[in-house]
Amino acid sequence: MNVFDYLFATTQHLEKDFVLGPKETISFKKLHEDSLKIASYLKVNVGQNQNVVLISPNSVFFITVYLGILKSGNVCVPLNFSIEQDNLDFIIEASSFGYHIDINIMRDMVWSSQPKNFSVVTEKVKSFTGQGKKIKK
């Protein structure tokens, strides 16, 4: 059992909003369902006990993927989507994360459209391009 299971132990069927925002909302039920889709995908394609980088602005997408990463048995390494290239290079060299999430795969799997300034992971990090940044490993 992890934080995902505790969060949704009694709330997974609630139609009440989990996120209340001027631009986005999502119910407990929808967040639970979408996060499980992400978790299932990651278990098959990434495995478990991996460090997974998530670069995204704060949004429903971020929360959903973050929870999906946790539920899949992986560790989420959230980075600010406006990170400078030098800082990103330093983090890549100093860290041992092996995956980033491809937003197109997640979008097709769960949503019809997403914010455009974010990045997500499904392949070993060798190089990663997001918002004009290139990650080398």
Residue 107 maps to which CATH number? 3.40.50.980
Q: Which residues on adjacent β-strands are paired with residue 77?
A: 53
Mean pLDDT for 35-49 is 88
Mean pLDDT for 68-76 is 93
pLDDT score, position 135:
42
Q: How far apart are CA 5 and CA 8, in angstroms?
A: 5
Of residues 14 and 117, the one with the higher pLDDT is 14
Asked if residue 43 has pLDDT above 70, the reply is yes
Boundaries of domain holding 129: 3-136
Report the mean per-residue pLDDT for the chain.
76
Q: How many domains does the chain have?
A: 1
pLDDT digits (tens, 9 = 90+) for 16-27: 999 988 889 999
- Tell me if 82 sits within 8 A of 88, measured CB to CB: no
66 confidence band (pLDDT: 50, 70, 90): very high
pLDDT digits (tens, 9 = 90+) for 86-119: 887 787 777 766 666 555 555 555 554 443 433 4
Tokens encoding 131: 């918002």
Mean pLDDT for 123-127 is 37
Instruction: Decide: residue 70, CB within 10 A, 0-12 exposed, 13-18 middle, 19+ buried.
Output: buried
Token pair 């495995």 in the structure block, residue: 47
